[in-house]
């Protein structure tokens, strides 16, 4: 079982599209769209949100993400009608719907618990406020020097660069290792941080760790990048 996700939007198409997007990175996670009104219009529906929360909860809990203010009110109302045990397994994420939803989906796919998945969604807030120049710097930001550190530099070979799907695969692999690894100075386990680097084809990525036990992780991640993630 994994933590489930519910996407609440004023538009059914937006919610359904986000499910399609997140499913590319989180095939084993229950993703439920709760968009639009009961009659298919623009707005939100208490019944749809309540049913989506119930559908998404496999026992490990549910993280709910919303687009606009009234969607949050609808979700909060749905939570108020849950019994205490069910309500304790739901987190209403303070995060943008798309970026937060993608980050949460990857966290759930990699086995994150309820609070961890909600926290992953929240990283989208920090990314939204980051300097836009983060992805345009040509020079890698090195991991702090350490006599026991290890790093490799590999070039991005994917035609479309390190876009969402390969970035998600990279983060999933990084999350299997207990050590801290960075990519051009950014946390290798943060999907949004990796995507914000803007690593296009031909750009170098320095994968590094200061952990004396981190060589295996760096080599595995560097080999994955060099392989092109199985893309043509």
Instruction: Cite the active site residues.
Output: 10
What are the backbone angles phi and psi of residue 210, rounded to the nearest 5°? -100, 0
**Which candidate, 36, 77, 26, places its Cα nearest to that of 56?**
26
The two beta strands, 4-9 and 31-35, are parallel
**Which candidate, 169, 164, 151, 221, places its Cα nearest to that of 197?**
164
E-strand stretches of 87-137: 90-92
Environment class of residue 38 by beta-carbon count within 10 Å: exposed (0-12), middle (13-18) or buried (19+)?
exposed
CA angle centred on 75, ends 88 and 95, rounded to 5°: 85
Specify whether the CB–CB gap between 179 and 213 falls below 8 A. Answer: yes
Buried b (16+ CB within 10 A) or exposed e, 103-127: bbbbbbbbebebebbbbbbbbbeeb
């Amino acid at each position: 079982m994994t933590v489930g996700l519910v996407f609440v939007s004023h538009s059914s198409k937006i919610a359904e599209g986000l499910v399609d997007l997140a499913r590319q990175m989180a095939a084993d996670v229950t993703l439920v769209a709760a968009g639009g009104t009961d009659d298919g219009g623009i707005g939100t529906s208490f019944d749809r949100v309540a049913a989506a929360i119930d559908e998404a909860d496999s026992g490990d809990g549910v993280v709910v993400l919303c687009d606009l203010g009234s969607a949050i009110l609808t979700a909060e109302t749905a939570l108020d009608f849950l019994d205490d045990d069910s309500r304790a397994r739901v987190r209403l994420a303070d995060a943008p719907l798309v970026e937060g939803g993608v980050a949460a989906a990857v966290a759930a796919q990699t086995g994150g618990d309820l609070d961890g998945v909600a926290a992953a969604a929240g990283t989208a807030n920090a990314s939204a406020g980051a300097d836009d120049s983060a992805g345009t710097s040509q020079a890698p930001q090195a991991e702090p020097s350490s006599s026991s550190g290890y790093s490799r530099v590999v070039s991005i070979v994917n035609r479309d660069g390190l876009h969402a799907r390969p970035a998600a695969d990279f983060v999933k692999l990084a999350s299997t290792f207990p050590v801290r690894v960075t990519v051009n100075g950014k946390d290798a386990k943060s999907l949004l941080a990796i995507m914000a680097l803007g690593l296009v084809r031909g750009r170098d990525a320095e994968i590094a760790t200061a952990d004396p036990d981190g060589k295996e992780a760096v080599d595995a991640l560097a080999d994955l990048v060099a392989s092109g993630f199985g893309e043509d």
